[in-house]
């Protein structure tokens, strides 16, 4: 399935969650299923939901409203929490190029406050990139996707001659594969208690080549 959001085309592939995460990072318990991303509702979907609740009243009362016990659903929700917007070329130096990419956060059913984001094993078009931690706190959206005020900035080192390297990257592909991991460090409230969680988000996307046609 392919989705286009803010100029960024995502190629999303469903695969079983096999990665093992630490139990705790920086005092935050690691848990992917702590959030449930809101999905666009259709008339058919609402009717199906009503029918299910009528046939099985109260079956989700121990969970968040509408939450299922499916591990696959939880994994999918976690990976849909963070997306990247349309990349823009920020600067070109004799050693490489810097891009700015908006961060888009999906609306969720829970109330929560994000403390910071940490990026790990990020690879863009076959090259590893280092992305600084994102220390700009914000509340999780509940109604519509939220584009954060400050975009990500990442630098791609090009060891070959500058003009030749930029030309090669600009004309080689229309899209670039982007993979990696985002750890979302957040605080949530439930039944009057506040608790900290770290949500691992696996990125597996294809973004438009921002150098194409330059």
The pLDDT profile of the chain, 214 residues, written as one tens digit per residue, is: 443 334 444 343 334 445 789 999 999 999 998 889 988 665 554 554 444 444 444 433 333 333 333 344 445 578 999 999 888 888 877 777 888 999 999 999 989 999 999 999 999 888 888 899 999 999 999 999 999 999 999 888 776 545 555 555 556 678 889 999 999 999 998 777 889 999 999 999 888 887 776 5
pLDDT number for residue 125:
83
162 is a domain residue: yes
Q: What is the pLDDT of residue 56?
A: 44
Q: Per the domain annotation, does 119 fall within a domain?
A: yes
What local confidence, expressed as pLDDT, does residue 69 receive? 39
Res 67: pLDDT: 35
Structure tokens at 211: 């150098």
Q: Spell out the residues 6+ positions from residue 46 whose beta carbon is closer than 8 angstroms to its own.
A: none
Is residue 214, in this structure, part of any structural domain at all?
Answer: no
| pTM for the full predicted model | 0.72
Sequence-ordered strand ranges (E) for 131-174: 138-139, 146-147, 152-157
State in Å, rounded, how far the first CA of the chain is from the last one.
29
Residue 213 placed within a domain: no
Domain count, the chain: 1
Residue 15, in any domain of the structure: yes
| Structure token pair of residue 202 | 């696996």
Q: Which domain holds residue 51?
A: 2-56+65-208
């Amino acid at each position: 399935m392919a989705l286009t959001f803010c100029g960024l085309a995502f190629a999303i592939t469903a695969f079983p969650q096999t990665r093992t995460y630490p139990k705790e990072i920086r005092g935050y318990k690691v848990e992917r299923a702590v959030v449930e991303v809101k999905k666009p509702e259709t008339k058919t979907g609402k009717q199906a939901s009503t029918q299910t609740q009528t046939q099985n009243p109260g079956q989700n009362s121990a969970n968040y409203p509408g939450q299922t016990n499916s591990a696959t659903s939880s994994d999918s929700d976690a990976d849909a929490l963070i997306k990247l917007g349309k990349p823009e070329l920020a600067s070109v130096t004799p050693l490489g190029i810097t891009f700015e990419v908006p961060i888009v956060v999906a609306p969720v059913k829970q109330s929560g406050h994000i403390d910071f984001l940490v990026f790990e094993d990020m690879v863009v078009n076959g090259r590893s990139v280092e992305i600084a931690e994102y220390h700009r706190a914000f509340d999780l959206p509940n109604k519509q996707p939220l584009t954060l005020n400050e975009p990500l900035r990442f630098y791609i080192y090009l060891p070959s001659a500058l003009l030749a390297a930029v030309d090669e990257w600009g004309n080689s592909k229309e899209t670039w594969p982007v993979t990696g991991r985002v750890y979302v460090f957040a605080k949530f409230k439930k039944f009057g208690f506040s608790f900290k969680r770290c949500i691992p988000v696996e990125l597996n996307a294809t973004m438009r080549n921002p150098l194409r046609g330059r």
